[in-house]
Structure 1
Amino acid sequence: MGVQGLTTLLDNTPQIYREVRFGRSRLLIDGCNLLHLLYFKSGLDQNRGGQYAAFEDLLEQFVAALTDCSIAPYVVLDGGSDPTDKKLRTVTQRAERRIQKAHQAAAGGTEERLLPLLTKLVFRQTLARLKVPVAQCYGEADQEIAALAIEWQCPVLSNDSDFFIFELPGGLLPLTHFRWEAVEQSGSHRYIPCKSYNTSSFCIFFNIQRQLLPTFAALAGNDYVKLQWMGKFISWAEFAPAGSPAPRHLQGLLYWLKDFEKPHEALKAVLEMMGELNKQQKAEVLESLTLGMDEYELPPSSLKMFFIHGVAPAFPAEEEVAGHVPDWMRLPLTQARLNGAILDVLLLHRVRLGILVDHGDMPSAQLTSRPLRQVMYGLLLGRRKHRVVEERDRDGLQLKYIPVRPIVEGLIQQLARSSLHEAEPSDRLQVLLEALRVTQDSLSRLPPQLRLPVAVTCYWLREAQPPPDETLLKALLLGLTYGDTQRHSAPSQTLQKLFKPKLDMDVVHAFNQWQACLNDTIHLNQLLGCPLPEPQIARLYKGTLVHQLVHMMRTGGRFKGLVKGDRSSARLYQTMLSVVHQLHRQEMSAPTKTQKNETGPQRQPLEDLTPNLKKLFFQCDDEETVTEVKSALRAQEDLYLEQMLSVPTRFRTKERNNRCNNPEISRKEECRGWDVL
């Protein structure tokens, strides 16, 4: 982001910074910048699906350090893409580089600074739980952050070099120099040691006029100005004084700008230096440079009323956003309860899909969840002729825009975008369940917080290619079951430290597909007003743990230490596995009436038999009969679980007999469900 090389220039001239003891103040935080720096600086996993719980812990520590120093944080996030497409070329080039990096990471096991897919969701969920004020902009956040910082006279925390250009009265606190892990104390006040940057110090040091900073950024080339062919006419490095530190092209440009007072004087001189261009070409150069300079002209803040009074900003009228985006979406978008990509669908009919660490020979993991996104497109765009959404995704190692048609069928046809938030909860739930092809009854045996993840797992088991095997399924469900309960336990920590298995690209690809399905289901669930509870990702899924479980299961590892004494979690695992198997078998078989007649007598399912047994239990007063009914119920439940889990009956019978005959065995083998491994 921002002016390339500017951060390096400032690091090579440290006298521009001022050492400060920061505390007792508001602080505006560039959320996307903080997210990336915290994750990458911590050394957390990037290639095995992420360490979301560890990232949540890190974010909690960061917020605690701010609170300890009486710092009031306000986090601002990017939203949708710029509707004018001014940065389309830059954004596309970055996506192409990420595809290459993702392949390199997968093929060589290197870390290429690629965020695991669900990291941003963990970031938002954690800040919401910690009650940190968060605002998601309709577009990019830089201008909104700078505008509010000017009104509040408070500093900005970011590493984005664009903030070196904005004139911020409270200054900029670069994240790389913000030592939040080393809180210090002076008297009764605690503070964070850090460095502060101010444009006045920069201009004094390089002896240029303050009003020329936007001109400097545009001529150096920022996200909006890419003049690759300028080098044919001008080499700014030639103007750098002898002995200037790197980057020399920025040193030379700043030295050249010393002779000018006004921006238009500098632009005129640049055009004269490019004398070989014709009149039209010079006009295009001038327009591009002016556009780049205009990005540093700040409008009044639109977030102040939101942070203080909870009032969402109006949609930008000049971009005709209001005509395409329902008014009811303003508040949930600003609160980050709706994904900013919704604006891309509505305004650009285009969406950028995340690039995951995956081998270039594999198909994109995002293909698996495309039907879920098609449902979301149908809700947002409705039944409009010739309407498609272009999905930016990889095809091999190439970046492509793939036209995808919205799905508008069933209940979706009856739900209008303008009143979607007012639709009956049962209808909104039904749309979600039909997209995942599960039923409400099938999920009723599960705790509310696991219904959406298990429904996603059923969808993944059916749609993923190649189809996940039983080991992958069991490892995933074990991770979902024990990930949170064992979060801080010694066995879990020991397991994660014991080994880091080599990347298995089949495993990586399978779980990439699951994460893509979960990500898109959560976004669809949000759009529908959360008919299913949104799971807390950091407490649900740990990519490294699931990869370790797969490795251990395939190499004959033992798990008893991981779950010893946790009978409730073992039963929860059993329940999830039986629900997934049941739904998968129903989906795969679904016999017709003719097939049912030809197959002869069928075993009566548990859901049909159990009510009859319970009815008998409540109608009977005889103690002996009651005991028999209770035994029948328990036997039927055990039989049902054994059928779902494919456990040999004689092993189950032997185990139950041993439990009855020896209470010590019962005490030692609390985690009965673990035997299904």
Structure 2
Amino acid sequence: MGIRGLTTFIENRSHFYLENYQLHDTNLVIDGNSIACQLYRRHNKSLNDSFGGDYDRFAGIINNFFNTLQRCNITPLIVYDGGYETKKVHTINSRMKNRIKAANQLNPTNSFSVFPLFQRHVFEDVVEQRGIKSVRCDFEGDTEITNIAKALDCPILSYDSDFFIFDALYIPFSYFEISVKSANDESDVAYKYISCKVYKVDKFLKSFPGLQKSCLPILAVLLGNDYVKRSVFAVFYQNLKMQTCRGSESNQQKVIKSLLTWLQNETIESALSKVLGRYCKAKRQKILKKINVAINGYNSYESRYMRYLDVNVPKAGPSKHKVDLLSIDIPDEDEEIENNDAHQDQDDDVSSEEDENVNIPSKFQDKFRRCIYPASFMDILVRNRYYCVPQVENVALENSHTYSQATAKKRRKKRKKREDQPENIDDIMNIDDLELNSDDEASFDPNNLFSVLRNN
């Protein structure tokens, strides 16, 4: 999901919130999607993406990363995101637009960067070749990454501000040195380690006395995320006492500090009562329902993906049950938002239904979680949609994704024919037996975002 400005806020105060850490002799849960991008970005100067990406050199960089872990007796466990969730559609559209603009302006001499089309595939291939244990979540994986790390009592490696909210040991990739150092323990036994910095929620809370751990997800919600946009809380912000920051810091940094200061004197119930008290009851319940889903996304429970990693798990304690905030009694205050024209109709600012109750055939789900199927297959199965990722190409010519539409058209026909037969799910996804004729019309557009967005 990501929380705008929070990474900058933490990094600007890293001497308060982060601790030096020696990583060795441990499991390490790796956010596969994030680290694939961060490895490419860190070495971007040596990888010219104007010509589609130097995949062999990138594979070497990935192998060096895993070799470094191996030398320090660190066992990587890779967790990938799956299909896009409903709440991510607007975010995906925005990212695609930005990617198209960057691709159109890219040349070997400027500073623009575009991840090459197969950047993530190269990472996954190296992971598979090395026999590293991995799992693909059905949809977004942040919560499951945390669940797995907490079950194994080990750190998370990622570069995602959501992990500042989760109650888990988190290593931001920007503070992770891909090099091996040596030291001796108390018994004078030599060991090798990777120098990094780690974030602990408890250390962060000490800087804000009175701030409860359970209130941190409210911070994420009020700053705006995929569930509820920040604009929904406009009236709340009008009444929030703003704190001062150093002169060089942005207004967003002041907002974050102000929210943290305000939450020092609140419980989760009192905070939500003050935030939602000015809404009419109908709208209040709709927003509260989404806040409830968002907050539960930060809660820990036993992971359903652990068995795919085939690791020994310590005996688990009682699972943490989901929080139900829908029964909170919120007193009516002045219903300012309801009577304010600027905020009268904000249904678009609250995400639509969730994906948890989607009926996914068990045979498909098992192979998907074992990384036999790519992430795009979940979008095809659940929404009959395929996202065509923009790439660097000659924009004066017909875009390259156009030529895949005939294949997509045939696959759609197969899916419609067999969608009521879950046992044939492999056939639905298999393209080897698609007999494409030269006269097949590419009349089916699988939500070709590149074509659509480039013309807008």
Fold conserved between structures, TM > 0.5: yes
Equivalence for 1:300: 302
> Does the C-alpha gap of structure 1 residues 242 and 12 become closer, same or farther in structure 2, counting only changes over 3 Å?
closer
Which position in structure 2 is the counterpart of 1:202?
A: 204
Distance 1:112 1:74 in 2: 32
The residue that corresponds to 2:219 in the other structure is 216
Deviation at 1:127, TM superposition (A): 0.8
Q: Which residue of 1 aligns with 2:181?
A: 184
Instruction: Check the 8 A contact 2:364/2:425 in 1, yes or no.
Output: no
Counterparts of 2:263 and 2:422 in 1: how far apart (Å)? 52
Aligned residue for 1:352, secondary structure, equals coil
Q: How does 1:37-48 map to 2 (within 5 A)?
A: 37-43=38-44, 44-48=47-51
Q: CA deviation at 1:374?
A: 2.8
- Say whether 1:141 aligns with 2:141: yes
SS at match of 1:72: strand
Match of 1:255 in 2: 261
Q: Who is 2:57 aligned against?
A: 54
Instruction: Report the CA distance between 1:75 and its aligned residue.
Output: 0.5
Q: 1:378 to 1:418 in 2, by over 3 A?
A: farther
Q: Secondary structure at the match of 2:49?
A: coil
Instruction: Say whether 1:364 aligns with 2:367.
Output: no
Listed as ranges, the matches of 1:301-450 within 5 Å are 301-308=303-310, 319-322=357-360, 325=361, 327-358=362-393, 361-382=396-417, 418-419=423-424, 421=426, 431=433, 434-435=435-436
Q: Deviations over 1:203-250 (max 9, x none)?
A: 111231111111111111123221325335515884214548551110
Equivalent-residue separation in structure 2 for 1:225 and 1:354 (angstroms): 26
Query: Aligned-pair distance for 1:383?
Result: 6.4
Q: 1:283 aligns with which of 282, 285, 297?
A: 285
Q: 1:122 to 1:25 in 2, by over 3 A?
A: same
Give how far 1:288 is off: 3.4
1 CA distance for matches of 2:67 and 2:23?
15
- Aligned residue-pair number: 390
Q: Distance in 2 between matches of 1:190 and 1:435?
A: 56
In 1, distance between residues paired with 2:431 and 2:256? 56
Name the amino acid aligned to 2:97.
E
1:67 pairs with 2:70: yes
Structure-2 change in CA distance of 1:369 and 1:236 (3 Å): farther
CA-CA distance at 1:10 after TM superposition:
0.5
The answer to whether the Cα contact below 8 Å between 1:382 and 1:417 also exists between their aligned partners in 2 is no
Q: 1:78 aligns with which of 40, 59, 81?
A: 81
User: Which of 237, 248, 266 is equivalent to 1:234?
Assistant: 237
- Scaled by the length of structure 2, what TM-score is found? 0.77
Could you tell me the percent identity over the aligned residues?
26
Change (3 A) 1:211 1:422: closer
Matches of 1:371 and 1:430 in 2, distance apart?
A: 14
SS of residue paired to 2:373: coil
Seen in structure 2, the aligned counterparts of structure 1 residues 264 and 430 have a Cα distance that, compared at 3 Å, is closer
If the length of structure 1 is used for normalisation, what is the TM-score? 0.53
Take 1:11 and 1:248, find their aligned partners in 2: how far apart are those partners? 15
Task: Look up the equivalent residue of 1:5 and give its one-letter code.
Answer: G
Do the aligned partners of 1:102 and 1:114 also contact (CA within 8 Å) in 2? yes
1:135 aligned counterpart, secondary structure: strand
C-alpha distance in structure 2 between counterparts of 1:79 and 1:11, whole Å: 29
Residue 477 of structure 1 aligns with which residue?
none
Q: 1:421 to 1:279 in 2, by over 3 A?
A: closer
Matches within 5 A, 1:472-491: none
Q: Which residue of 2 aligns with 1:531?
A: none
Equivalent residue, structure 1, for 2:23: 22
Contact 2:2 2:161 in 1 (8 A): yes
Q: Distance in 2 between matches of 1:320 and 1:198?
A: 35
SS at match of 2:78: strand
Structure 2 CA distance for aligned equivalents of residues 286 and 73 of structure 1: 38
Pairwise mapping of residues 417-566 of structure 1 onto structure 2 (< 5 A)?
Answer: 418-419=423-424, 421=426, 431=433, 434-435=435-436
1:33 CA drift (Å): 0.5
How far apart are the structure 2 equivalents of 1:222 and 1:317? 17
Deviation at 1:74, TM superposition (A): 0.4
1:128 aligns with 2:128: yes
Amino acid of the structure 1 residue aligned with 2:357: E
Range 296-305 or range 357-366, more displaced? 357-366
Alpha-carbon shift at residue 71 of structure 1 (Å): 0.1
* Aligned twin of 2:8: 8
The letter of the residue matching 1:185 is: S
Tell me if the contact between 1:239 and 1:256 (Cα under 8 Å) persists in the aligned partners: no
Distance in 2 between residues matched to 1:93 and 1:301, nearest whole Å: 31
**Which sections of structure 2, spanning at least 5 residues, go unmatched?**
185-189, 313-353, 443-449, 452-456
1:174 aligns with 172
Is residue 138–residue 343 contact of structure 1 (8 Å, CA) maintained in 2?
yes
Contact kept, 8 Å, 1:165 with 1:213, in 2: the verdict is yes
Whole-Å separation in 2 of the counterparts to 1:119 and 1:252: 39
Q: In structure 1, what is the Cα distance between the partners aligned to 2:118 and 2:437?
A: 19
Name the CA distance, whole Å, in 1 between partners of 2:103 and 2:432.
Answer: 37
Aligned mates of 2:239, 2:103 — CA distance in 1: 34
d(CA) in 1 for partners of 2:436 and 2:78? Answer: 33
Mapped partners of 1:215, 1:172: distance in 2: 20
Give how far 1:364 is off.
2.9
| Structure 1 residue 320, shift from structure 2 partner | 3.9
Would the aligned equivalents of 2:82 and 2:141 in 1 still touch at CA under 8 Å? yes
Which residue in 1 is equivalent to 2:96? 95
Structure-2 change in CA distance of 1:339 and 1:375 (3 Å): farther
Report the residue type matching 1:95 in the other structure: M
Change (3 A) 1:104 1:135: same
C-alpha deviation, 1:329, in angstroms: 2.2
How far residue 90 of structure 1 moved from its aligned partner, in angstroms, is 2.5
CA-based RMSD of the aligned residues comes to 3.2
Closer/same/farther in 2, CA of residues 202 and 359 from structure 1, 3 Å limit: farther
Residues 231, 70 of structure 1: CA spacing in aligned structure 2 closer, same or farther, 3 A cutoff? Answer: same
**2:346 corresponds to which residue?**
none
- d(CA) in 2 for partners of 1:235, 1:112: 37
Q: In structure 1, what is the Cα distance between the partners aligned to 2:109 and 2:58?
A: 21
CA distance in 2, matches of 1:120, 1:55: 10
| Alignment partner, residue 454 of structure 1 | none
Q: Which residue matches 2:319?
A: none
Q: CA separation in 2, counterparts of 1:31 and 1:255?
A: 34
| Closer/same/farther in 2, CA of residues 258 and 233 from structure 1, 3 Å limit | closer
Taking structure 1 as reference, are residues 122 and 378 closer, same or farther at Cα in structure 2, changes over 3 Å only?
Answer: farther
Q: Secondary structure at the match of 1:57?
A: helix
Counterpart residue identity of residue 258, structure 2: G
CA distance in 1, matches of 2:66, 2:57: 14
**3-state SS of the aligned residue for 1:93?**
helix
Structure 1 residue 265: Cα displacement: 0.4
The structure whose residues are more often helix, as a share, is 1
Larger Rg: 1
Is 1:271–2:268 an aligned residue pair? no
Check 1:235–1:177 CA distance in 2 against 1; reply closer, same or farther (3 A cut).
Answer: farther
Tell me the SS of whatever aligns to 1:299.
coil
